[in-house]
Amino acid sequence: MTDKYVYEFSEGDASMKNLLGGKGANLAEMTGLGMPVPQGFTITTEACTQYYADGEQINDAIKAEILTYVGKLEEMTGKKFGDLDNPLLVSVRSGARASMPGMMDTILNLGMNDEVAARFAEKTNNPRFAYDSYRRFIQMYSDVVMEVGKSYFEKLIDEMKESRGVKLDTELTADDLKELAEKFKAQYAEKVGSDFPSDPVEQLFGAIKAVFRSWDNPRAVYYRRMNDIPGSWGTAVNVQSMVFGNTGDTSGTGVAFSRNPATGESGLFGEFLMNAQGEDVVAGIRTPETIDQLKDENPAVYAQFADIVSRLENHYADMQDMEFTIEDGKLFMLQTRNGKRTAAAAFKIACDLVDEGKITPEKAVAMIDPKQIDALLHPQFDTAELKAATPIGKGLPASPGAACGKVSFTAEDAAARGRNGEPVILVRLETTPEDIEGMHHSQGILTARGGMTSHAAVVARGMGTCCVSGLGDIAFAADGKSFTLAGQTFSESDWISLDGSTGNVYGQQIATVPAEIGGYFGRIMEWADQYRTMKVRTNADTPADARQAREFGAEGIGLCRTEHMFFEPDRIAAIREMIVSKTVEQREVALAKLLPMQRGDFEGIYEAMEGYPVTVRLLDPPLHEFLPTDSDDIVALAADMNISVDELKNVIASLHEFNPMMGHRGCRLDVTYPEIGAMQTRAIIEAAINVQKAHPEWTIVPEIMIPLVGEVKELAFVKNIVTSTADAIIADSGIALEYKVGTMIEIPRAAITADEIAKEAEFFSFGTNDLTQMTFGFSRDDAGKFLDAYYDKKIYENDPFARLDTEGVGKLVKTAVELGTQTRPDIKLGICGEHGGDPSSIEFCQKVGLNYVSCSPFRVPIARLAAAQSALNNK
Ligand code: PEP
Ligand code: MG
């Protein structure tokens, strides 16, 4: 921190982005490059932070400094605030460190008042232009600074056009616009309760405050959360002397990209409008012309612009997004920044820049946002149809992609209709493991409850199926055959569409376009793999998922959740039989039925992974999850098992837990029923032996993982079941199979006693879903209900189940890494919680020295790229 809060453009450069924001730093850089930039100054991001520290006030020292810079700008331009002969008019715009397009607002023509406008009209001999600028200013100021709302002003414009019998704004005369300015001021006075400020200095401070305030508006806060931008960064404010694109037919304004941001094709791409200002180009009031037409309109300006574009792209070595204005035939650059682009364009541009010798492959890997990969792997909405649609609700973006289908309320119905080729969206209060088949046959899943690591979210991500979770506004009808949302009622014949990347829900059909991976993707991923130091594994429970993950480049399985296999219709009966068994003998009989099925699953998984490591976790969830809840199912099961319905109901009641997440689950199941762990170990080891024998070219080393350990003695107890079972089988098999036994670190106690735990564990896998819920003490399934309040109150900036809380949970991870390594220097360290597929969490994993991350198959490419970027950042 210094006590300098304001910089002239000529005092800065591109390296000062943190202080000047992206826009300010680039305006400074363009100034330094000798490009035509209307001069001005930047009020720093630190001034914004100070504004909040001072209780949302610009303090006197900063005010004085700003006024000094106004003076300097007046000197530089020869114009003066409020001067009738030569008034200084400025634009005021926000500019944060990371670009947040459309998140904050702009004010143009600041410095105008009745007298200035009148004199301006005279001096320019262009009253239309003067009053057009004035009415725009009043409109923008009212909207942005006083939050009066755009629509009142738009209505006044429409009324004026109607009364004059014209269609376009440009057809309104100078007198019309003058009258409009009066009406706008009256509107302002009515809504705000005081007159429109005529003092330019008062206007300026109002505008600066509005920009600072906009840093915390709800859409900015939401954008930051989606894009991992910390609230502490603040935004800078750029005050720039105005140039006018609306002085007449030799003026204009436009936006352009140095390459096509949708496809990545090279060549200038953009639009402009003659006799227009600022927002007109994007507002769609008039249809802009393509940038090529500027060549005919003004060849000299076009040539100058094309030259600047290519210089800027070469200078920044990236595709540029620029704004420009032509004032009476003279070109001015108002902005340049690295342009936002589609995923497909991002990959093409990065490869092309390498081929053109402008960047290295390292830079190509570093410049792509890993989260964009989602758009290449999952179907997306047709852009035009999406634009025309309005969401009717917003839940959590639990699993990316776009889905459209008819509503289905039960997993059975979804499975039946889905199998018949009907596109369905499964809409549930929440999902349970029983719903797996229905989920599988759905285009998308929508739940009213549940967070980012809820069952629906985790399973949908694993399947690569779109999911929106935790949309609490859904109200189900008592008969479960319809739901209402935003005042509309939906039943089975109704279409809905889900955007799993934003959480938006639409009450209509929106076409989707399939995912498409091009050759550029492969090239970038190949480079990424060269720079990466962490391995990337996958969380996969079935051979099909494992194969999918291999296609995406997974280098092993970091978590196979064995329970997911138990819900297949042919095995649920056996698992239920095991649960209701009263004696060890009865249980062993049931387990013996499960053994061949589990062994078969594991064989399939080893085959799919072709010798890459496979970590299988012993049974984890509370047993009651497997029991039927529906009374028909209970009757059927009782009959199957030859016990009375009452007896079965008693068993079910006895398994009830008040807090199952902290109840009889994880390794506790093996402590109470060692025969479960023994059966699973047998299945894992026998499968490995069979596949090893079939494929001598692979070295299969099964990794058996014991979940939810908090105390080394319980680990030792379960490990003993595993090793005694495994060793006996291996001894009988005649081959020298190696295997490893390790644990998940999911309980804070395990993390802080990791030196002890490591005496028994050959590897740690951080189960950061449970570790997060146990560390925060709130449930992963319920937190969604109150986290929004925490974001609103700025207590949390992110969902800790989606992005690792590095300060708290991360500290436990770091501690466990250090303690574990002290005991066992070669201990293998990985993460298999959902954070293993989140780019910023992956960066943390790199920093603390994990050997691998593991995530659902569709996130494997994201993790490969994020791991490469983390390695490059931490070189
Ligand atoms: C975890 O807790 O992070 C984990 C991977 O296990 P699960 O999500 O199955 O509880
Ligand atoms: Mg867990």
Per-residue pLDDT tens for 709-729? Answer: 999 999 999 999 999 999 999
Measured CA distances, 252 to 26, 283, 323 (Å): 22, 15, 11
741 contact partners, CB below 8 Å, separation of at least 6: 703, 704, 705, 706, 719, 722, 723, 760, 761, 762
372 DSSP 8-state letter: G
Nearest atom in ligand 1 to the alpha carbon of residue 766 is: 3
Strand partners, 490: 483
| Predicted pLDDT at 285 | 57
For residue 861, the model assigns a pLDDT of: 96
Residue type for 734, please?
A: G
Q: What's the rounded mean pLDDT across residues 440-450?
A: 92
pLDDT tens sequence across 560-610: 999 878 877 778 888 888 898 888 898 999 999 999 999 999 999 999 999
Q: Average pLDDT, whole number, for the chain?
A: 92
Span 524-537, average pLDDT = 97
Higher pLDDT, 352 or 627: 352
Residue-level pLDDT at 265: 93
Distance CA 264, CA 268 (A): 11
Q: Are strands 466-469 and 396-399 parallel, antiparallel or unpaired?
A: antiparallel
Q: For 763, how many CA atoms within 13 A lie in the half-sphere containing its CB?
A: 27
Residue 126 pLDDT: 87
For residues 48-60, average pLDDT: 96
- Give, in order, the Cα–Cα distances in Å from 660 to each of 496, 582, 624, 665, 750: 34, 21, 9, 8, 19
pLDDT of residue 494: 96
Radius of gyration of the chain (CA): 32
Q: Tens digits of per-residue pLDDT, 265-322?
A: 999 998 888 888 776 665 555 677 888 899 988 999 999 999 999 999 999 999 999 9
Q: What is the pLDDT of residue 103?
A: 61
Q: Smallest Cα–Cα separation from 538: which of 530, 529, 523, 550?
A: 550
Instruction: Compute the distance between CA of residue 731 and CA of residue 689 in angstroms, rounded to an integer.
Output: 11
- Angle, to 10 degrees, between the axis of helix 45-53 and the axis of helix 60-77? 150
- Ligand 1 pocket: which of 458, 459, 620 to mutate (most atoms <8 Å of CB)? 620
- DSSP assignments along 774-825, one per residue: HHHTS-TTTTHHHHHHHHHTTS-SS-TTTS--TTTHHHHHHHHHHHHHHH-T
Active site members: 455, 832
For ligand 1, atom 6: residue with the closest CA: 767
Please state the atom number of ligand 1 nearest to the C-alpha of residue 561.
Answer: 9
Cβ count near 827 (within 10 Å): 20
User: Which of 97-101, 103-107, 364-368 has maximum average pLDDT?
Assistant: 364-368
Lowest mean pLDDT across 143-152, 424-433, 582-591, 858-867:
143-152
Q: Who contacts 384 (Cβ-Cβ below 8 Å, separation ≥6)?
A: none
Q: How confident is the model at residue 219 (pLDDT cuts 50, 70, 90)?
A: confident
CA of 576 to the centre of ligand 2 (A): 22
Q: Which residues contact 322 (CB under 8 A, 6 or more apart)?
A: 255, 256, 257, 258, 270, 309, 312, 333, 334, 335, 336, 337
Distance 844 CA to ligand 2 centre (A): 20
Residue whose structure tokens are 């950061």: 768
Say yes or no to pLDDT of 135 above 70. yes
Nearest atom in ligand 1 to 768's CA: 3
Q: Are the beta carbons of 572 and 566 closer than 8 angstroms?
A: yes
For ligand 1, atom 1: residue with the closest CA: 767
Which positions ≥6 away from 682 have C-beta within 8 Å?
Answer: 595, 599, 725, 729
pLDDT tens for residues 417-428? 999 999 999 999
- Model pLDDT, residue 827: 98
Cα(457) to centroid of ligand 2, in Å? 14
Q: Report the C-alpha gap between 493 and 474 in whole angstroms.
A: 17
State mean pLDDT over 634-663: 89
Ligand 1: centre distance to CA 770 (Å): 6
Closest CA to 365 of 158, 522, 501: 522
pLDDT above 70 coverage of the chain, percent: 98
What is the tally of helices (H) and strands (E) in the chain?
A: 35, 31
Q: What is the mean pLDDT of residues 412-416?
A: 93
With bands split at pLDDT 50, 70 and 90, how would you rate the model's confidence at 407? very high
Ligand nearest to the CA of 458: 1
Task: Quote the CA–CA distance of 545 and 612 in Å, as a whole number.
Answer: 15
State how far the Cα of 198 lies from the Cα of 200, in Å rounded to an integer: 6
Quote the pLDDT of residue 868. Answer: 98
Q: How far is Cα 491 from Cα 477, in angstroms, rounded to an integer?
A: 10
Top mutation candidate among 618, 832, 853 for ligand 1, by most atoms within 8 Å of CB: 832
Instruction: State the Cα angle at 103 between 797 and 150, rounded to 5°.
Output: 130
Q: Residue 81 has what pLDDT?
A: 94
Residues that place a CB less than 5 A from ion ligand 2: 746, 767, 770
Helix runs in 145-199, H state only: 150-164, 174-192
